[in-house]
């Protein structure tokens, strides 16, 4: 079976970027210890580095290669989402319990990226799981859902011309088919609900 080159490229990029980001983080921490007092500038650099590291870990789940039966711990998921929340305009609220299959988390994280496109002014995303059924509920001002784009997932339409900012939508269809999952979504006012 041929390897999925796109996921291998994603894994390689994330792997190569996480080391220098980690080194910058360590350097910032050492500078903070030498100064003795944290300045506003150092805090900004520290937050930016933490946010960058969290985004790379987020991208590794979305775009990296996975092994069969691999899982992600609840603590790791919560840590990544908390760090991404801290550095951006979105707040993620993870309310699922226990470790999760990595293949499924790849779908969930890609859906989170898809939801981000509907929240131009930021907002809040609550992720819950009940008996294997997942719900992602997003709220935000000026919610902007591109219905044609979202239908490419729910209707499994391959005929949409995705651009680079929409790659998460293009990747979701084959992953959902492989996971034997069907995605549905609905918008009511400033709330977007996605079920899986």
Among the residues of the chain, which ranges form H helices? Answer: 5-35, 40-63, 74-86, 102-116, 147-154, 167-178
Q: Are the beta carbons of 125 and 136 closer than 8 angstroms?
A: yes
pLDDT in tens, 91-115: 999 999 999 999 999 999 999 999 9
The span from the CA of 153 to the CA of 171, in Å, is 9
Q: What is the mean pLDDT of residues 58-83?
A: 87
Q: In the 3-class helix/strand/coil scheme, how is 78-117 assigned residue by residue? A: HHHHHHHHHCCCEEEEECCCCCEEHHHHHHHHHHHHHHHC
**How do strand 133-139 and strand 100-101 relate by DSSP bridges?**
unpaired
pLDDT in tens, 176-188: 988 889 999 999 9
Residue of 66, 142, 78 lying closest to 107 (CA atoms): 66
Task: Find the distance separating the first CA and the last CA of the chain, reported in whole Å.
Answer: 28
What architecture does CATH give domain 81-196?
Answer: 2-Layer Sandwich (3.30)
Q: What is the mean pLDDT of residues 50-68?
A: 83
The full set of domain ranges for the chain reads 1-65, 81-196
pLDDT reading at 144 higher than 80: yes
Name the 3-class secondary structure at 138.
strand
pLDDT at 4: 62
Residue of 75, 81, 29, 25 lying closest to 55 (CA atoms): 81
């Amino acid at each position: 079976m041929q390897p999925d080159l796109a996921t291998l490229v994603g894994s390689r990029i994330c792997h190569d970027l996480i080391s220098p980001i980690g080194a910058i983080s360590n350097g910032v921490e050492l500078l903070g210890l030498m100064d003795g007092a944290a300045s506003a500038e150092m805090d900004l650099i520290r937050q930016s580095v933490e946010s960058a590291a969290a985004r790379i870990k987020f991208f590794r789940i979305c775009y990296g290669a996975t092994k069969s039966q691999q899982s992600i711990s609840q603590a790791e998921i919560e840590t990544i989402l908390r760090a991404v929340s801290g550095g951006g305009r979105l707040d993620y609220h993870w309310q699922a319990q226990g470790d999760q299959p990595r293949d499924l988390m790849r779908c969930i994280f890609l859906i989170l990226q898809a939801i981000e496109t509907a929240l131009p002014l930021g907002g809040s995303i609550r992720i819950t799981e009940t008996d294997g059924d997942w719900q992602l509920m997003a709220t935000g001002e000026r919610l902007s859902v591109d219905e044609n784009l979202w239908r490419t997932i729910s209707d499994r339409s391959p005929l949409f011309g995705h651009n680079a900012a929409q790659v998460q939508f293009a990747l979701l269809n084959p992953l959902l088919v492989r996971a034997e999952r069907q995605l549905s979504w609905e918008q009511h006012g400033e709330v977007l609900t996605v079920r899986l």
